[in-house]
Amino acid sequence: MLCECGKNEATVRETVIINGKSIEKNLCEQCAQDLGLAPTTHHPALHELVKQFVHEPGVTEAQPLKAEEIACSTCSLTYTRFKQTGLLGCGLCYKSFEEQVGPLIERAHEGATHHVGKIPRSALERSRHGGPDRLEILLGTTEERLRRMGELRRQLDEAVEAEQFERAATLRDELHRLDQLKPGQVLPDEFSSTHGEE
Amino acid sequence: MVSSPPPNEDGAKPAYGATTEWLRNEGAACDVVLSSRVRLARNLAAHRFVPQSDRTQRQQVVSLSQQAISEIGSCVWIDIHRTNDLEKQLFVERQLMSRQHARGKLAGGIGGPDEPRGLAVSLPDERVAIMVNEEDHLRIQCMRSGLALSEALAAADTLDDELEARLEFAFSPRFGYLTACPTNVGTGARFSVMLHLPGLKLLGDIDKVKRAAEDMSLAVRGFYGEGSKAIGDFYQVSNQTTLGKTEQVLLQELERDIIPRVMDYERHARRTLFEKRKSTTQDRIMRSVGLAKYVQLISTEEAMEHLSMIRLGAAIGMLNGSSMQAVNKLFLLVQPGHLQHRAGHALTQHERRVERAAVLREYLRDVG
Ligand SMILES: [Zn+2]
Ligand SMILES: [Zn+2]
């Protein structure tokens, strides 16, 4: 059946009330939308995205180990259970399942592999007194920090290339901030918590 | 300061009236942008995440969080597992918590309505809402009227610092803030903007916006978040990724790159409707006004549809100024939980339709 417009196939059947009479209309997608009658499309919840990633062949099957039998030593969550729910059991699950979850995270976040951005302020402040080891727990090894800064530099170059100057300035600030966070160094004052409770 | 008594005990009930931060209709770009929201996901270090916790462990997290929140002050604490369904629905409708938090159920059927969990809300402005033991231990939400993501982020950032001074958060150098769902790791920050797009809807150009947003890997959702329909022509746009970009960059991608474009599209659509399709547009708007003034029975969805048209009429100056205020209040008042709260008891679906029609007639009496 053709739509009222006579151009397209009618795919939407809707009852509309005109002057108190209900009239059945057969419309194409475009005309239905013009009348505000088209159904809205839903988007998959984020969990669903994870599940899709996990269930895609090649993601799990490519793993050399039998990933299903792995369990987190801290919270005892099994990888099988994670595949069912898309939810991890504790912070250390990220270590226990790093090999499996790492690629999923990369795909869910458009290729990103490392965090850039906020670092817990009080923890950072406390680690000033705890020496380089404490700082490394928060900031990672030198290699990890260099990698993070390399990523920021890449984003900065991209922003400059695209003439996104505001974004470039933000990235430059972040680079500067990270550069000052070297293990073994006394942190500049801007990193000390303004809400000191100790 | 210790927070004031929860609204579900004794007589000290907060009003929960017809206004809340996101419906104040103030701030930048409020003709198109209803509200801006920042939500940070945080978990306590050395505690199991919610999905893998038993009751005792969940209770521990509730106690620690409640203590920290009460020390900061400014928020009222509510034990959600002891709150009745009607009140929970009210919180969901006011966008203070998710439907998932009301149910207490997580993905994979984990949990249930009696699991220990809480909600902290700043009253009377409702700008801050902290969900405790939803999918993550803490979900810190800061809301602002209009387009004001930077302001919302600044507020969330400060609150996050205050909480972190009292609670140690799970964090790793590689993945940042650790969350139960790996799609939230990194900054743990979700920025969203609620848009009213009746012009684009009427012109059939909504898909343009969806495509533009999706190209930039932003998500477009309905009025009540994940999986909900775009009821009343409201669309929520938010970032999908949380890892590998700073909070500021995530914010800018939304506030500077996509939202101004969508606002231009919508304003252009409204001008087109007003200038080139004036009588048709006027007819749609005035039909909605007429219906709202005389209707006797109406569903939520239909009410929202007509309210959207009336809001459009007010925004383009076709209707008088008082219409905008009335309509913004009605977006809340026509919701099932609010109707029952107003009535003071539970209502059947039919009774709600009767009440909803009465509320519309009352508030829109002077609109025209
Ligand atoms: Zn057609
Ligand atoms: Zn674990």
A11 falls in which pLDDT band (50, 70, 90)? low
Residues B298, B263 share a domain:
no
In DSSP terms, which residues pair with B139 in a beta bridge? B41, B131
Single residue among B213, B236, B269 that ends a domain in this structure: B269
Distance between start and end Cα atoms, chain B = 48
Residues B322/B298, Cβ–Cβ less than 8 Å: no
**Do the chains contact at B249 and A171, CB–CB below 8 Å?**
yes
Please give the angle made by the CA atoms of A116, A121 and A123, to the nearest 5 degrees: 105
* Chain A residues lying within 8 Å of B227, measured CB to CB: 42-43, 45
Tell me how far apart the alpha carbons of residues B361 and B289 are, in angstroms, rounded to a whole number: 10
Tell me how far apart the alpha carbons of residues B101 and A14 are, in angstroms, rounded to a whole number: 35
Residues B294, B213 share a domain:
no
Tell me how far apart the alpha carbons of residues B110 and A82 are, in angstroms, rounded to a whole number: 12
Alpha carbon separation from B175 to A48, A103, B65, B161 (Å, rounded): 21, 12, 23, 19
At B27-77, the pLDDT tens digits run 678 889 999 999 999 999 999 999 999 999 999 999 999 999 999 988 999
In a domain, B13, yes or no: no
A59 falls in which pLDDT band (50, 70, 90)? very low
Q: In this model, does residue B330 exceed pLDDT 70?
A: yes
Least confidently predicted of A70-74, B16-20, B229-233: B16-20
ipTM value: 0.87
In a domain, B219, yes or no: yes
Which residues between 258 and 297 in chain B have a beta carbon less than 8 angstroms from any beta carbon of chain A? none
Look at residue B188 in the predicted model and tell me its pLDDT.
98
Residues B212, B76 share a domain:
yes
B97 secondary structure, DSSP code: S
Average pLDDT, chain B: 89
Mean pLDDT, to the nearest integer, of B258-285?
Answer: 93
**Do the chains contact at A46 and B185, CB–CB below 8 Å?**
no
Average pLDDT, chain A: 72
Q: Buried (b) or exposed (e) across B148-184, using 16+ Cβ within 10 A?
A: bbebbbebbbebbbbbbbbbebbbbbbbbbbbbbbbb
Which residues between 167 and 226 in chain B have a beta carbon less than 8 angstroms from any beta carbon of chain A? 168-178, 180-187, 189, 201-204, 206-207, 210, 217, 219-222, 226
Tell me how far apart the alpha carbons of residues B186 and A114 are, in angstroms, rounded to a whole number: 8
Residues B290, B245 share a domain:
no
Alpha carbon separation from B89 to A77, B13, B336 (Å, rounded): 33, 16, 8
In a domain, B347, yes or no: yes
CA of B175 to the centre of ligand 2 (A): 15
Residues B300, B199 share a domain:
no
Residues B79, B209 share a domain:
yes
At B96-139, the pLDDT tens digits run 999 999 999 888 788 989 999 999 999 989 999 999 999 999 99
A29 falls in which pLDDT band (50, 70, 90)? low
Give residues with Cβ within 8 angstroms of B78, minimum separation 6: B6, B7, B8, B91, B118, B119, B120, B121
Alpha carbon separation from B167 to A20, B137, B160, B354 (Å, rounded): 62, 11, 10, 49
Mutation target to probe the B interface, by most B beta carbons within 10 A, among A28, A90, A100 is A90
In a domain, B2, yes or no: no
Residues B255, B290 share a domain:
no
Mean pLDDT, to the nearest integer, of B14-18?
Answer: 63
Residues B313, B199 share a domain:
no
Task: Indicate the pTM of the whole model.
Answer: 0.82
Query: How many other C-beta atoms can be found within 10 angstroms of the C-beta atom of residue A190?
Result: 8
B168 secondary structure, DSSP code: P
Residues B297, B166 share a domain:
no
Tokens of B268: 């252009």
Query: What are φ and ψ of residue B117, in 5° steps?
Result: -160, 160
Residues B248, B296 share a domain:
no
Burial class for B11, CB neighbours closer than 10 Å (0-12, 13-18, 19+): exposed
Q: In this model, does residue B85 exceed pLDDT 80?
A: yes
Partner A contacted by B49 (CB < 8 A): yes
Count of domains forming chain B:
2
Nearest CA in chain A to B168: A123
Tell me how far apart the alpha carbons of residues A90 and A80 are, in angstroms, rounded to a whole number: 15
In a domain, B8, yes or no: no
A7 secondary structure, DSSP code: S
Residues B321/B314, Cβ–Cβ less than 8 Å: yes
Domain CATH code at residue B249: 3.30.590.10
Residues B312, B234 share a domain:
no
Alpha carbon separation from B219 to A59, A65, B46, B237, B254 (Å, rounded): 24, 35, 32, 6, 11
Residues B301, B242 share a domain:
no
In a domain, B5, yes or no: no
Residue B150 lies in domain: 21-269
Mean pLDDT, to the nearest integer, of B207-228?
Answer: 74
Q: In this model, does residue B340 exceed pLDDT 60?
A: yes
Partner A contacted by B335 (CB < 8 A): no
In a domain, B1, yes or no: no
Residues A68/A78, Cβ–Cβ less than 8 Å: yes
**Sign, Cα dihedral of B273, B279, B284, B285:** positive
- Locate tokens 């949990």: which residue? B111
Partner A contacted by B66 (CB < 8 A): no
Helical H segments across chain B, by residue range: 55-72, 85-93, 99-103, 149-164, 198-203, 206-215, 247-252, 259-275, 278-294, 300-315, 322-333, 336-343, 349-363
Single residue among B249, B269, B289 that ends a domain in this structure: B269
**Do the chains contact at B49 and A117, CB–CB below 8 Å?**
no
In a domain, B190, yes or no: yes
CA of B276 to the centre of ligand 1 (A): 20
Single residue among B232, B251, B269 that ends a domain in this structure: B269
Tell me how far apart the alpha carbons of residues B44 and B66 are, in angstroms, rounded to a whole number: 13
In DSSP terms, which residues pair with B138 in a beta bridge? B42, B132
Least confidently predicted of A26-40, B143-157, B338-352: A26-40
Look at residue A39 in the predicted model and tell me its pLDDT.
34
A187 falls in which pLDDT band (50, 70, 90)? low
Q: In this model, does residue A192 exceed pLDDT 60?
A: no
